[in-house]
Amino acid sequence: MLLIKCPFCGPRPEIEFAYGGQAHIERPKDPMSLDDEAWAEYLYIRNNTRGVHSERWRHINGCARFFNVRRDTISDEILVTYKVGEAPDAVPEKDRPTKGGAVR
């Protein structure tokens, strides 16, 4: 089980959270102008990264807020968690999980 650091509530076990899929997918600003190809890209095509993956999580059994996580999908180690709208580098070093911080 992952130990996930909610940016609002602190570290909590994975069962308090819901996974929200790949992060930073922008909703089309003008949906009517999209062709089928662009809709398929928005709705279904995913990076499915092997390596460092940016993803959304929701603290559904806590503060219920969405936030972003960077996780290595090979080791499942969480590198950093950050609020929506924030850049991951904006998270102070002391608030980032240390090596091995993501326990399984």
Partner 1 sequence: MKRFSAISVVREALRGNSAWPRQWRSPEPKPRYDVVIVGGGGHGLATAFYLADRYGVRNVAVLEKGWIGGGNTGRNTTIIRSNYLFDESARMYEHALKLWEGLSRQLNYNVMYSARGVLMLAHNIHDVQSFKRHVHANRLNGIDNEWLSPQECKEYCPPLNVGGEMRYPILGGALQRRGGTARHDAVAWGYARAADALGVDIIENCEVTGIRRAVSGGVEGLETTRGFIRAGKVGVVAAGNTSVVMNMAGVRLPLESFPLQALVSEPVKPAFPCVVMSNTIHAYISQSDKGEMVIGAGTDAYTSYSQRGALHIANHTLDAICELAPMFRRLRMLRNWGGVVDVTPDRSPIVAKTSVPGLYLNCGWGTGGFKATPGSGDLFAFTIAKDEAHPINAPFTIERFREGVMIDEAAAAAVAH
What does the binding site for partner 1 look like in residue numbers (CB under 8 A)?
A: 1-2, 14-15, 17-19, 21, 36-37, 39-41, 43-50, 53, 55, 71, 73-76, 104
How do 78-83 and 10-13 pair as beta strands? unpaired
User: In the complex with partner 1, which residue's Cβ is closer, 45 or 84?
Assistant: 45
Query: Please, are residues 89 and 61 in contact by the beta-carbon 8 Å criterion?
Result: no
Other CB atoms closer than 10 Å to residue 57's CB: what's the count? 24
User: In the complex with partner 1, which residue's Cβ is closer, 91 or 102?
Assistant: 102
Instruction: State the minimum distance, in angstroms, from the CB of residue 69 to partner 1.
Output: 9
Give CA 26 to chain center in angstroms. 14
Instruction: State the minimum distance, in angstroms, from the CB of residue 94 to partner 1.
Output: 25
User: In the complex with partner 1, which residue's Cβ is closer, 8 or 19?
Assistant: 19
- 38 in helix, strand or coil? helix
